[in-house]
């Protein structure tokens, strides 16, 4: 929000924030429901064909969040047979889907993930994690670090270093 407000001030424009589900964020931009997206967005070739991007100003990477008392996942190599939670249409969704499919995007390795559960937002995934319905949530590092800082009595990061 600070970045958006600073840009608006620099450009002499009024800033209005619109809260939308991530999976609809680009459709809204392409149909002129809003003028710009300022969010944690991965720049892909497909997206570049339809939209313009600024130079990247932040590299997040993906981390793994598990319940505090769970030691069944030490890194992504422990994903086989596990149920993972992701937010729909995010980088985490793309990464674990490609891992499961064995596409080249994740070193061509196919990992037998038991199930990928997709959520409209990360808070829903974290609730399911805490309720024991997921083995892990895969998320952008800043989101994972922030959530663990606020809920460290219930969840933990497998590693502060992104696995991808």
> Tell me: the pLDDT tens digits for 22-52?
778 888 899 999 989 887 777 778 888 998 9
> Quick one: 3 exposed, middle or buried, by C-beta within 10 A (0-12, 13-18, 19+)?
exposed
In CATH, the number for domain 62-157 is 3.40.190.10
**Global pTM?**
0.79
- Please report, for the chain, the start and end positions of each structural domain, with discontinuous segments joined by +: 2-50, 62-157
- Give the other-Cβ count within 10 Å of 110's Cβ: 13
> Quick one: 95 exposed, middle or buried, by C-beta within 10 A (0-12, 13-18, 19+)?
buried
pLDDT tops 80 at residue 82: yes
Residue tagged 């047979």 (tokens): 81
Per-residue pLDDT tens digits for 89-119: 898 999 999 898 877 565 667 788 999 999 9
């Amino acid at each position: 929000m600070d970045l958006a407000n600073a840009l608006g001030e620099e450009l002499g424009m009024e800033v209005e924030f619109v809260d939308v589900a991530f999976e609809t964020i680009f459709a809204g931009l392409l149909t002129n429901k809003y003028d710009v997206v300022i969010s944690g967005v991965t720049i892909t070739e497909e997206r570049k064909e339809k939209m313009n991007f600024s130079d990247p100003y932040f590299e997040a990477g993906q981390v793994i969040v598990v319940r505090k008392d769970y030691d069944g996942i030490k890194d992504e190599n422990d994903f086989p047979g596990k149920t993972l939670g992701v937010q729909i249409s995010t980088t985490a969704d793309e990464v674990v889907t490609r891992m499961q499919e064995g596409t080249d995007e994740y070193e061509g390795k196919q990992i037998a993930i038991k199930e990928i559960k997709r959520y409209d937002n990360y808070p829903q995934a974290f609730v399911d994690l805490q309720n024991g319905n997921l083995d892990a949530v895969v998320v952008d590092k800043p989101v994972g670090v922030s959530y663990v800082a606020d809920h460290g009595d219930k969840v933990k990061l497998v590693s502060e270093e992104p696995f991808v």
